[in-house]
Amino acid sequence: MPVALLLTLLLAAPARAELSVRDIVDRANKSLRGDSSHGTVVMTITTPSWERKVEIEGWNKGRRMAFIVVHSPPKEKGNTTLRRENEMWLWMAKVERVIKIPPTMMHAAWQGSDFTYEDIVKADSILADYEHRQLEKKVEPVAADEAKALGLSQARRAVHLIECLPKASAAVVWGRVLFTAAVYDDGLVVPLKEEDYSERGELVRTIELSKVERVRDRLVPMRLECRPTRKPGQKTVLLYRGLEFDVRISDSFFSLARLQRGMK
């Protein structure tokens, strides 16, 4: 092909459409769930006086349903959490009892961690309940070895700092959320940080996402660290040991009957 014609075709090729701020938030929020997923996680809760590890296995579907089983430590083994839409139940294996989580408990710690029941139930809250505004955008290089490991065609990304303010009608706990996400030249989006503020403007907690790996056709942060501002020296770390997407799961999998028997 003549060089002049090749240049003409390249120049005429449509550029990749730039994502809207809402699209960036949506894609980043989907990165750890997809349409359906199955994963195993080690959750480490650290305080100045003690540390506890919890091994968890979880299934998600459509960001509407979730089923989470605790495999260890022994005294909590078999405890199961079920989410269907905006409702949640907890199976306490030792006492063989089902507890429906009331709205008043949604802000309570889940499994003693720095994450709450609301974090599990409101998977789409950051998208549905907030208005989004970009505060900052900067383009930065990606190390060549990292780009190669992630299978990227170009070694750069745009990092977006996005302010999320709750809609007037939204029943949410945060008065402001600062959300940071990276958009790679390949169009892949990865969440990097979330900073949650109270209605009075105080920083309550910071969630940092790291250890990005390629899982099939997406980039996924395999490590999440949540640090509460008012509790120095305390943090909760989620480390994914395995993660798969587009898993075939029927709606009946997420049932109260299964909740009581775990994965038996």
For 105, phi then psi, to 5°, come to -100, 0
pLDDT at 8 over 70: no
pLDDT at 264 over 60: no
pLDDT at 263 over 60: no
Query: pTM of the predicted model, to two decimals?
Result: 0.87
| DSSP one-letter code for 150 | H
The owner of tokens 């789409």 is: 124
Average pLDDT of the residues in 15-40: 85
Convert the pLDDT of each residue in 163-222 to its tens digit: 999 999 888 889 999 999 999 877 889 999 999 999 999 999 999 999 999 888 888 999
Give residue 3's pLDDT band: very low, low, confident or very high (50, 70, 90): very low
The lowest-confidence range among 11-20, 141-150, 212-221, 234-243 is 11-20
8 A C-beta contact, residue 88 and residue 121? yes
Q: How many helices (H) and strands (E) does the chain have?
A: 6, 13
Convert the pLDDT of each residue in 83-121 to its tens digit: 998 889 999 988 889 999 998 888 889 888 999 888 876
- Distances in Å between the Cα of 23 and the Cα atoms of 28, 86, 151 are 8, 23, 23
- Chain centroid, CA 109 distance in Å: 17
Q: Rounded to 5 degrees, what angle do the CA atoms 232, 236, 241 make?
A: 155
Average pLDDT of the residues in 117-144: 87
In the structure encoding, which two tokens stand for residue 98, read together? Answer: 């089902």
Peptide bond into 103 cis (omega under 30): no
Domains and CATH numbers, the chain: 19-261 (2.50.20.10)
